[in-house]
Amino acid sequence: MDLWYTESHTDHVRFSLQVKEHLFTGESAFQKLDILDTYEYGKLMTLDGLVMVTEKDEFVYHDMIVHVSMAVNPDIKNVLVIGGGDGGTVRELMKYPNIVHVDMVEIDKLVVDAARKYFPAVSCEVDNPRVTVLYEDGIKFIKGKEAVYDLILIDSTDPIGPGEGLFTTEFYSDCYAALTENGILINQNETPVYEKFFEVGISSNKKLKKMFPSVHVYQANIPTYPGGYWLFNFASKKYHPINDLKEDQWNGLNIKTKYYNTDLHKGCFALPNYVKEKIEHGTF
């Protein structure tokens, strides 16, 4: 059988992967989840039909959502992950012996269960004693928390469905309060290649800038995401992402990474003009 999975990146752009086997389909109260075994990218998880994780390129996203902040403040002790049910973000965090505790607040238990079964190399650290997995709504979870986390990673889906409330000023404001004075917040911030995604990214960046004194955008090449090109926000109460990079300290940790390194750290904040100017001035 010639079986293909297709994601529509826009109404006019499609990305398709040939499938060996449709391994699982399920639906939670929040979303539809499918696991496919593909020829080129290995196993793949979709939520509501959109690629979340593939075995072949998940390392890019997980390296970049975690290590950039950790190399700015390798002394981070308490971390909150919002979303991240596949476990990849937690796996990277567990490489730091200094981290005392991670709360992973994933609204959808189905994502964690499916990752445990089909992505053991991604979910391998969710049972680490330093990790607490809470099946709760991150928006409600964070309300009222004050200065408890050194790092918040918003490892969310796009702002459609359960991810929607994770792109609001109210939520960012709650995150700000929940962060310590050294606090850093990172969120995935969509692709600049297609307008509908970039508008979300620009809006998220603007909202964060109203709260945090230091907000900077960085980039990574994620082949299975729309445009193959993804942005993240780095928002901090105190740190500049490059001037405060602890290059020697991070390299001294000897953490094995497949994408991230401290030269790339400095490079990933250097955005193309069309991205930089649209983020800074709203036009290009």
Catalytic residues: 155
17 touches its own copies by CB under 8 A: yes
Taking the complex as a whole, the smallest distance from the CB of residue 164 to its own copies amounts, in Å, to 25
Subset of 169-228 contacting its own copies (CB under 8 A):
193-194, 219, 221, 223, 227-228
50 touches its own copies by CB under 8 A: no
135 touches its own copies by CB under 8 A: no
60 touches its own copies by CB under 8 A: yes
The stretch among 24-32, 53-61, 120-128, 174-182 that binds its own copies (CB under 8 A) is: 53-61
The stretch among 8-16, 89-97, 140-148, 173-181 that binds its own copies (CB under 8 A) is: 8-16
The stretch among 47-55, 95-103, 153-161, 258-266 that binds its own copies (CB under 8 A) is: 258-266
68 touches its own copies by CB under 8 A: no
Contacts of 225 (CB under 8 A, 6+ apart): 51, 61, 191
Instruction: Count residues near its own copies (CB under 8 A).
Output: 44
267 touches its own copies by CB under 8 A: yes
Taking the complex as a whole, the smallest distance from the CB of residue 205 to its own copies amounts, in Å, to 18
What are the distances in angstroms from CA 121 to CA 103, 114, 205, 232?
Answer: 20, 12, 32, 24
| Nearest to 184, CA basis, from 241, 104, 249, 145 | 241
253 touches its own copies by CB under 8 A: no
CA distance 151 to 68: 11
241 touches its own copies by CB under 8 A: no
251 touches its own copies by CB under 8 A: no
| Nearest to 151, CA basis, from 248, 70, 256, 35 | 70
* Residue pair 220/232 in contact by the 8 Å Cβ criterion: yes
272 touches its own copies by CB under 8 A: yes
Q: Give the residue with the Cβ less far from its own copies, 173 or 261.
A: 261
133 touches its own copies by CB under 8 A: no
Taking the complex as a whole, the smallest distance from the CB of residue 133 to its own copies amounts, in Å, to 29
Q: Give the residue with the Cβ less far from its own copies, 200 or 222.
A: 222
Q: Give the residue with the Cβ less far from its own copies, 207 or 265.
A: 265
Q: Which residues bind its own copies (CB under 8 A)?
A: 4, 6, 10-18, 38-40, 57, 59-60, 193-194, 219, 221, 223, 227-229, 257-261, 263-274, 276, 284
